[in-house]
Amino acid sequence: MERGGTLARRARAPWLHSAGVADSQAHCGRGARGCPGAACSAGSRPVAGSLAPVTLRLYDTAARGLREFVPLTPGEVGIYVCGATVQSSPHIGHMRSVVAFDVLARWLGRSGLRVTMIRNVTDIDDKILAKAAAAGEPWWAWAMTHEREFRDAYDALGVLRPSYEPRATGHVPEMVELIEQLVARGHAYGVADGSVYFDVRSFPEYGALTRQRLEDLSPADDGELAGKRDPRDFALWKASKPDEPATASWSTPFGRGRPGWHLECSAMAERYLGDTFDIHGGGLDLRFPHHENEVAQSRAAGRGFARYWLHHGWVTQSGKKMSKSLGNSLLVSAILEHTHPVVLRYVLTAAHYRSMIEYSDDTLREGQAIWERLAGFVSRASERVGALNAAQVAAAELPAPFVDAMDDDLNVPAALAVVHEHVRTGNTALADADATETRAALLAVRAMLDVLGLDPGASPWVGVGADDRAGAALDALVSAELDARAAARTARDFSTADAIRDRLARAGVLVEDATDGVRWSLASEQEGTS
Ligand SMILES: [Zn+2]
């Protein structure tokens, strides 16, 4: 979370405006939901005491239903999201997760809460060790290479940076402490090789998160069975194996080894958010065994752990969960070669976070068309009535139907319908040369899109897909150069043709002669403009 950004959104709570409805209404007369907060003459600092009305409802997987969201500490919210296992390059499915929780964090922030977002990096596990070994690289270099790729992809999609991104390898002492407590409480046991397992039969609540009975569960899929009291017991700590690099193990009271996957999240969530915190998020596929095991570890150790469980849907192709095995075309790097990041962001944002996104080339084409419509309006309206600054957008009152939609378990499709309505109104106002209405629509549209991380008038999306006159002018100039080059070649004046090509190269324009004609592109920063 970029702190500045979060704090700038504070105290504009459409809900949770604090001090109760009566007080808020008495001041600004709009009620808590419509109160513009920072711009409210009533003053915007949350007042201690009652926090009614709280109207945000979130679907809590543990409760199997919508629950009113009430933060543990008034005015604050702690969120833990299971981040990437940095074993390979990010694909579109990974981006679904970060975008879903980015919208949640933005909405909570816009609602006046101080958001602490923790998203971990799993930088050691079986797959990382195996893939690094196959590639002949140290596992830690392999993990770091992919961690950077993930971060670049998150940044490209305009995802706000979390408050902190703890790595598993940096939290072994916390894990050891938690394991020792579990052993002392009779919920975990060590075996001869130095591994430590969680004893699922010692914890009657095991299976409660996913409502499964212990006797129906399959053996834990952690590769080892030796010494387990029950095949469903799962590894808290994995003893190092002779064929694993020495750097992949840590010395502990149980012997040299490395973390079990589930344990790291329990340990890191507690370190940064406390033993009880507000929201835990992740993909649907993480419900079991990962989240079930996290709950078991933390609660068996006496912690309260997460109060709300949010799970997002997948990106699917032909109805199947998208995974790397479906091909490299789904890598973020491959998609961004032909699609602007904001279009991918739009596509991932536009669906309800709990629904599946069926992905195809049409998905991106449709996203592109809608984005151009939104950006086009913002561009034309700004030209007509003047650009708005970030403070104006942040302080704007959000349309009530938009607030209602977002409060309804982050119903982004319904919220976007409100955005489109305002774009229609705004376009009509533009056609009628009605500056007042145009400005009102521009402000509302930008404020709503800002909540979704899609404001065309703000960084990093300014000018993308809008009125690209600079691009059109460049295209015309380069085309004229290429025409002159073609004429020179026809006249067999190769020195002139080469000079034109070199001139373009110096300007950072790469020319490529293909069988079907000449193509040009801008050189990447690395290629430079010499
Ligand atoms: Zn986790």
The three-state secondary structure class of 241 is: coil
Average pLDDT on 236-252 reads 95
Do 211 and 123 lie in one domain? The reply is yes
Provide DSSP, 38-72. Answer: GG-TT--SPPSS-------EEEETTTTEEEE---S
pLDDT of residue 515: 67
Alpha carbon of 269 to ligand 1 centroid (Å): 9
Is there a contact between 236 and 179 (Cβ–Cβ < 8 Å)?
yes
Which of 14, 507, 60, 49 minimizes the C-alpha distance to 309? 60
Alpha carbon of 81 to ligand 1 centroid (Å): 7
Please report, for the domain that includes residue 277, its CATH number: 3.40.50.620
Model confidence at 62: pLDDT above 60: yes
Alpha carbon of 82 to ligand 1 centroid (Å): 4
Q: In the structure encoding, which two tokens stand for residue 459, read together? A: 């960084």
Question: Following CA atoms 23, 29, 32, 38 in sequence, which dihedral angle do they give, to the nearest 10 degrees?
Answer: -100
Alpha carbon of 80 to ligand 1 centroid (Å): 8
Alpha carbon of 57 to ligand 1 centroid (Å): 23
Asked, for residue 301, whether it belongs to a domain, the answer is yes
Do 299 and 366 lie in one domain? The reply is no
Alpha carbon of 12 to ligand 1 centroid (Å): 32
d(CA 103, CA 5): 13
Alpha carbon of 264 to ligand 1 centroid (Å): 7
Q: What are phi and psi of 501, to 5 degrees?
A: -60, -45
Do 493 and 390 lie in one domain? The reply is no
Do 93 and 201 lie in one domain? The reply is yes
Alpha carbon of 282 to ligand 1 centroid (Å): 7
Helix or strand holding residue 306 (H, E): strand 305-312
Model confidence at 528: pLDDT above 60: no
For residue 53, whether the previous peptide bond is cis, meaning omega lies within 30 degrees of 0, is yes
Alpha carbon of 227 to ligand 1 centroid (Å): 25
| CB-count burial class (<10 Å; 0-12, 13-18, 19+) for 91 | buried
Residues with Cβ–ion distance below 5 A, ligand 1: 82, 265
Is there a contact between 47 and 11 (Cβ–Cβ < 8 Å)?
no
CA dihedral for 332, 87, 102, 322, sign (positive or negative): positive
Q: In the structure encoding, which two tokens stand for residue 212, read together? A: 């499964």
Do 403 and 476 lie in one domain? The reply is no
Band of residue 225 on the pLDDT scale cut at 50, 70, 90: low
Do 442 and 401 lie in one domain? The reply is yes
Tell me the pLDDT of the chain averaged across its residues.
Answer: 86
Beta bridge partners of 306: 277
Alpha carbon of 291 to ligand 1 centroid (Å): 6
Strand (E) positions, 341-478?
Answer: 357-358
Neighbours of 257 (CB within 10 A): 24
Asked, for residue 93, whether it belongs to a domain, the answer is yes
Alpha carbon of 365 to ligand 1 centroid (Å): 34
Is there a contact between 59 and 308 (Cβ–Cβ < 8 Å)?
no
Average pLDDT on 68-77 reads 97
Q: What are phi and psi of 344, to 5 degrees?
A: -65, -40
Count how many domains the chain has: 3
Task: For 9-45, write each residue's pLDDT tens digit.
Answer: 323 333 332 322 223 322 333 333 333 333 333 323 2
Please report, for the domain that includes residue 437, its CATH number: 1.20.120
Asked, for residue 341, whether it belongs to a domain, the answer is no
Do 135 and 252 lie in one domain? The reply is yes
Alpha carbon of 265 to ligand 1 centroid (Å): 5
Cα 332–chain centre separation: 13
Asked, for residue 175, whether it belongs to a domain, the answer is yes
Q: Which domain holds residue 145?
A: 75-323
Q: Which value, in Å, is the radius of gyration of the alpha carbons in the chain?
A: 27
Do 281 and 379 lie in one domain? The reply is no
Asked, for residue 338, whether it belongs to a domain, the answer is no
Alpha carbon of 171 to ligand 1 centroid (Å): 14
Asked, for residue 64, whether it belongs to a domain, the answer is no
Beta bridge partners of 59: 66
The three-state secondary structure class of 340 is: coil
Out of 296, 323, 350, pick the residue that ends a domain. 323
Alpha carbon of 241 to ligand 1 centroid (Å): 24
Asked, for residue 463, whether it belongs to a domain, the answer is no
Neighbours of 138 (CB within 10 A): 14
Alpha carbon of 262 to ligand 1 centroid (Å): 6
Asked, for residue 486, whether it belongs to a domain, the answer is yes
Do 300 and 438 lie in one domain? The reply is no
Alpha carbon of 102 to ligand 1 centroid (Å): 17
Helix or strand holding residue 512 (H, E): strand 509-514
Q: What are phi and psi of 67, to 5 degrees?
A: -130, 145
Alpha carbon of 194 to ligand 1 centroid (Å): 23
Beta bridge partners of 116: 78
> Rounded to whole angstroms, what are the CA distances from 85 to 122, 164, 205, 241?
4, 16, 28, 21
CA dihedral for 463, 465, 471, 472, sign (positive or negative): negative
Alpha carbon of 332 to ligand 1 centroid (Å): 22
CA dihedral for 91, 94, 96, 100, sign (positive or negative): negative
Q: In the structure encoding, which two tokens stand for residue 97, read together? A: 């997760």
Band of residue 271 on the pLDDT scale cut at 50, 70, 90: very high
d(CA 60, CA 346): 25
d(CA 120, CA 202): 28
Alpha carbon of 489 to ligand 1 centroid (Å): 61
Do 246 and 193 lie in one domain? The reply is yes
Do 427 and 477 lie in one domain? The reply is no
Do 475 and 447 lie in one domain? The reply is no
Which of 491, 483, 471 minimizes the C-alpha distance to 517? 483
The three-state secondary structure class of 480 is: helix
Task: For 108-119, write each residue's pLDDT tens digit.
Answer: 999 999 999 999
Alpha carbon of 479 to ligand 1 centroid (Å): 52
pLDDT of residue 522: 72
Model confidence at 452: pLDDT above 80: yes
pLDDT of residue 525: 53
pLDDT of residue 226: 75
d(CA 67, CA 65): 6
